[in-house]
Amino acid sequence: MNMNSESLDIQDALKQLGLNAINSGTSTGSHWMDSKTEIASYSPVDGKLIGKVTATTQEDYQKVMTAATSAFADWRVKPAPLRGEIVRQFGDELRRLKGPLGQLVSYEMGKSLQEGLGEVQEMIDICDFAVGLSRQLHGLTMHSERPGHRMYEQYHPMGVVGIISAFNFPVAVWCWNTALAWICGDVCVWKPSEKAPLCGVACQNIAARVFKENGLSEGISCLINGDYKVGQMMTADPRVPLVSATGSTRMGKIVAQTVAERLGRSLLELGGNNAIIVTPDADLKMTVIGAVFGAVGTCGQRCTSTRRLIIHESMYDKVKDALVSAYKQLRIGNPLDQNNHVGPLIDTDAVQMYQSALRQVVEEGGSVLVEGGVLSGEGYESGCYVKPAIAEAQNHFKIVQHETFAPILYLIKYKGDVKEAIALQNGVAQGLSSAIMTNNLREAELFLSHAGSDCGIANVNIGTSGAEIGGAFGGEKETGGGRESGSDAWKVYMRRQTNTINYTTELPLAQGIKFDL
């Protein structure tokens, strides 16, 4: 098997994960299907072919759905703690394979090895969270207005959960959904990004082995692969009551409309245009660390990446000079080398969007403070390595209002009090993550109040990136309103039912209605 990588570690990682030169991209568990259409996965690290995955056909998809719906009938009646035990075993397998899976994430997606390993750790963490939750799927008991009656609420599994994930977090977001859906009694059909299909195959290999070793039904964990047409099979399918989709706002609107037409449910995690407010009372060192990591981490390809820095005029020059100095220290190169801070963009299409954004900000009247550009030469053969850039801009610029998935940070000055800064922060269509840097208690509390940030995530004295699995993750406005991962996000994957029990020999009606026969 030729994996076309100079790194023996990568070849060994692929072998440990059960990946071949050509892999089936459709699975109902441990059963894999093949088709003639192939998806080639090239690494943005070195531009070389990692492997190929076969695409899912319409016929294959129907087989997947038959297996999934059949498995649900059995899986939903297993006690929730037993389902939790399976998730625990899956988490243990992730611990065992954290190294190779983290390397694959880094090599196929292009994020740093530390971030790749961190993404697998998120999978492990959400499994641990789900295991505990499997004994806490609580309902409520209410007092009935009718004597001799008891009312309560309980939650039931929904059925088949369809998951569409994005390239920037090719494994963690799937696991956020899957671990919770599994303990809730649902089964999952996953369509990973066609830009990182091997990560999907690797995860399915791990999950399938756990379910098979426990003698459980084929179809609890299913995999499909392909372009948007394969995703459409799932979003239009009435057998899929919930579709969880992560990606662009444009994609999310299409998914939401398609699912809504059949009165299904959608969980959307879409675009972000995240800002950090820097007030006169901000700690400069903390501000620089939070802003730089938020802007250049994963080469600016996180949905929580920092796009805008809204700085009070009294701090503006200090922050600007400190950022320029920090950017000079960034090391750009192979993300598997932990000495580097910034890896590549996912592909050359992303590079073109990055270049276009830098041209547009100048055309709209902004100025580039730290020059960008595409790197070439030894180590940059893939054509996907770019320089993180900083531009001075206005919040109303069209390009600033738009989310560019690249390491471009816009500096925006404000003159008044923190209310002006909050208005600028909220003055975009997206509402995912936000932060304020201040040692002023009043400013911090106002930012977190009803009159403050309108985002799903609002932080004080940390950046916009780096969410923990314990809290519900998601955003408002064009970010879609979905919530995944921690807190009570499990309720999204279940249907609520209200029950009333009459333990008397009479049948009184609600609201005192009389109906005598």
Residues whose CB falls within 8 Å of the CB of residue 450, separated by 6 or more in sequence, listed in order: none
Q: What secondary structure letter does DSSP report for 489?
A: G
User: Of 127, 199, 222, 303, which residue is the catalytic one?
Assistant: 303
Residue 173 CA to residue 151 CA, distance in Å, equals 36
Provide the 3-class DSSP secondary structure of residue 150.
Answer: strand
Alpha helices in 41-166 (DSSP H): 58-75, 80-96, 98-109, 113-133
Residues whose CB falls within 8 Å of the CB of residue 254, separated by 6 or more in sequence, listed in order: 235
Please report how many Cα atoms fall inside a 13 Å half-sphere around the Cα of residue 211, on the Cβ side.
24
DSSP string, 283-313: -HHHHHHHHHHHHHGGGG-STT-EEEEEEEH
Compute how many other C-beta atoms are within 10 angstroms of the C-beta atom of residue 348.
15
Residues whose CB falls within 8 Å of the CB of residue 499, separated by 6 or more in sequence, listed in order: 151, 152, 153, 154
b (16+ CB within 10 A) / e for 366-397: bebbbebebeeeeebebbbbbbbbbbbbebeb
For tokens 């040692």, what's the residue? 439
Is 269 known to be catalytic? yes
User: Is there a contact between 387 and 347 (Cβ–Cβ < 8 Å)?
Assistant: no
User: Of 93, 119, 194, 269, which residue is the catalytic one?
Assistant: 269
Per this entry, what is the length of the chain? 517
User: Residue 40's beta-bridge partner residues?
Assistant: 52
Please report how many Cα atoms fall inside a 13 Å half-sphere around the Cα of residue 70, on the Cβ side.
13
Residue 448 CA to residue 443 CA, distance in Å, equals 9
Q: 182 is written with which tokens?
A: 């599994």
Is 38 known to be catalytic? no
Active-site residue set: 269, 303
